[in-house]
Amino acid sequence: MKKILIIEDDALLKKYMKEYLNAYDYDISTVEDFDNIEKIVMNEVYDLILLDINLPKFDGFYFLKLIRKKLNVPVIIVSARSEEGEQIRGMDLGADDYITKPFSMGILLAKINAVLRRTEKSTGTISEVNDIKLVYSNMELNDGDRVISLTKNEFNILKIFFENYRRVITREQLINELWDEDEFVDDNTLTVNITRVKKLIKNNNLNLNIETKRGIGYVLC
């Protein structure tokens, strides 16, 4: 059963959304404590988040930025802000879709189903090497009963290694994978990040090994 978190301060709308989506076999959690939204998001594994923009204290765009720094979970914005600029802003910050209020529950369901199908098709949900699972939705490694949380860069590095198991990955490929509009990655930064991943593997006694191919790159074996 897919688990969805609703971050919405309109109690009546939240109730309707929860009841409707429960009827379609979604496991729904809601945020009641708006002082601890970040903690709630990070402490559970969700398949999708429905995020309002007009929230107490900080707006939804603030939380969307925090989510995108640490998680790849799909996010659909549900907001009364219907201006084109607001919708563009939401998508630019990493939202997977944007629904303007008022909306029908049927449209909401269709959007959720479409985003989940698209996400699973494009990224998959899990890669596995040597019985160790890399879980995309919440950026973690599962080694038996152990759960190891990853930073954004640790996840991105391990993702390309897991998807290219026993293949040599060049430093250029890794730099391109790590670089984004918010962070410039040079050769030295890559070395630092690779060292951190190797340390993560060693400290957790994982059955993984990243070998250095001098002058070329690295290989996971």
Q: Is the pLDDT of residue 182 over 70?
A: no
Give yes or no for residue 219 having a pLDDT over 90: yes
pTM: 0.58
Mean pLDDT of the residues in the chain: 89
Q: What number is the average pLDDT over the span 185-190?
A: 79
What would the 3-class secondary structure string for the chain be? CCEEEEECCCHHHHHHHHHHHHHCCCEEEECCCCCCHHHHHHHCCCCEEEECCCCCCCCHHHHHHHHHHHCCCCEEEEECCCCHHHHHHHHHCCCCEEEECCCCHHHHHHHHHHHHHHHHHHHCCEEEECCEEEECCCCEEEECCEEEECCHHHHHHHHHHHHCCCCEEEHHHHHHHHCECCECCCHHHHHHHHHHHHHHHHHCCCCCCEEEECCCEEEEC
Q: Is the predicted pLDDT of residue 16 greater than 90, yes or no? A: yes
176: CB partners within 8 A, 6+ apart: none
Mean pLDDT of 19-34: 95
Could you report the per-residue pLDDT of 59-107, keeping only the tens digit for each?
Answer: 999 999 988 887 878 999 999 999 999 999 999 998 989 999 999 999 9
pLDDT digits (tens, 9 = 90+) for 109-154: 999 998 888 766 555 578 889 999 998 878 899 998 899 999 888 9
- Gap between the Cα atoms of 28 and 165, Å rounded: 36
- Examine the pLDDT at 185 and tell me if it is beyond 80: no
The pLDDT, as a whole number, for residue 26 is: 94
pLDDT at res. 186: 76
Domains of the chain, first to last: 3-123 (3.40.50.2300), 126-220 (1.10.10.10)
- Mean pLDDT of all residues in 13-38: 95
Per the structure block, which two tokens stand in for 152?
A: 């954004």
48-51: strand order across its sheet: 27-30, 3-7, 48-51, 75-79, 97-100
Cβ burial, residue 98 (10 Å; 0-12/13-18/19+): buried
Q: What is the pLDDT of residues 157-166, one digit of tens each?
A: 998 898 888 8
How large is the average pLDDT for residues 198-217? 93
Structure tokens at 46: 């969700």
pLDDT value for 100:
94
Q: What pLDDT shows up at residue 181? A: 42
How many angstroms separate the Cα of 193 from the Cα of each of 39, 70, 123?
26, 16, 23
